[in-house]
Amino acid sequence: MDPLKLWIRAKLPEGEIEKLAQTFSAVHFLEDEEAQALLDAIEALFTEDPFPDALVRRMTNLRWIHVTRGGAYPFLTPTVKARPIVVTCSKGIHGLPFSEFALACIFALAKRLPQCWENQREKRWAKVAPEEVSGKTLGIIGLGTVGTELARKAKALGLRVLAIKRRVDVKPDCVDVLGTSAYLPALLAESDFVVISLASVPSTENMLGEKELRLLKRTAFLINLTAGRAVEEKALIRALSEGWFAGAALDAFERQPLPEDSPLWGLPNVLVSPRVAGISSRKWDDILPIFERNLRSFLAGEKLENVVDKELGY
């Protein structure tokens, strides 16, 4: 039997492809140059970046795609959705970096660190008014892997935790109140910090517009780490400029990189970071075991883990 032809379309650490080849003798691991010459023979694809639909159409024998991200919507081209290609993702590995980054933003905003940094640049000795985080209310929009890990950490720090998710099943002990999207207005009105941890898919676009942003307390902070289109950006800029709420920390935007002419760069009550909240020094240590388990299952004709719902995008 010919070996399975699998295209590694990702920059793995040095030596990892050789290790995979030693472990999986029934697989021929292809890198870019060789893969381009054998597209019609490729049966599986391990990819880090989205690909054009024209490329998928040329891979006529493709049966499985594994992506390094937790969400897979950018990878669901028309051909991928139309054909019986199984798509799996690396869901479950991003809770740690995203939740830690969210907490860093919460503390930076509560302790007025941006003002301190600005004063430092100007060599100005000026007092700020830090606030305690313990006892505040955190609202989490999207209680998936990231939201759940953030809720667990926040509860341990003494915050009251509110959350919403698409379907409510069992409420984790670390969440005080859990609801569906119908609970969003109450969550926004009660929270001191609101963290968006939604999948970046069409169904989450413009969840927060002017109506929703006006529900936030004037003292509240908004933190968006995952879904750049979940907040209507024009309304967000106006809200921050006019002081509808205290400020924001943003790591996700409608357009990325954030254009140089975006007003968000210059607003004093905004922290801008360049899509780094999910970066982890342990990336491949976490991703490769999931890929290897799925590869074993694929070779054995068994059920794969983290199969993506092509309609939902995750």
- The model carries a pTM of 0.95
Q: For position 286, what pLDDT does the model report?
A: 97
Q: For position 1, what pLDDT does the model report?
A: 75
Q: Is the dihedral of CA 48, 50, 56, 58 positive or negative?
A: negative
Q: For position 169, what pLDDT does the model report?
A: 87
Q: Are strands 4-9 and 44-47 parallel, antiparallel or unpaired?
A: parallel
Task: Print pLDDT tens along the chain (314 aa).
Answer: 799 999 999 999 999 999 999 999 999 999 999 999 999 999 999 999 999 999 999 999 999 999 999 989 999 999 999 999 999 999 999 999 999 999 999 999 999 999 999 999 999 999 999 999 999 999 999 999 999 999 999 999 999 999 999 999 899 999 999 999 999 999 999 999 999 999 999 999 999 999 999 999 999 999 999 999 999 999 999 999 999 999 999 999 999 999 999 999 999 999 999 999 999 999 999 999 999 999 999 999 999 999 999 999 99
DSSP the chain: -PPEEEEEES-PPTTHHHHHHHH-TTEEEE-HHHHHTTGGG--EEEESS---HHHHHH-TT--EEEESSS--GGG--HHHHHTT-EEE--TTSSHHHHHHHHHHHHHHHHTTHHHHHHHHHTT----------TT-EEEEE--SHHHHHHHHHHHHTT-EEEEE-SS--SPPTT-SEEE-GGGHHHHHHH-SEEEE----SGGGTTSB-HHHHTTS-TT-EEEESS-TTSB-HHHHHHHHHHTSSSEEEES--SSSSPPTT-GGGG-TTEEE--S-TT--TTHHHHHHHHHHHHHHHHHHTPPPSSB--TTTT-
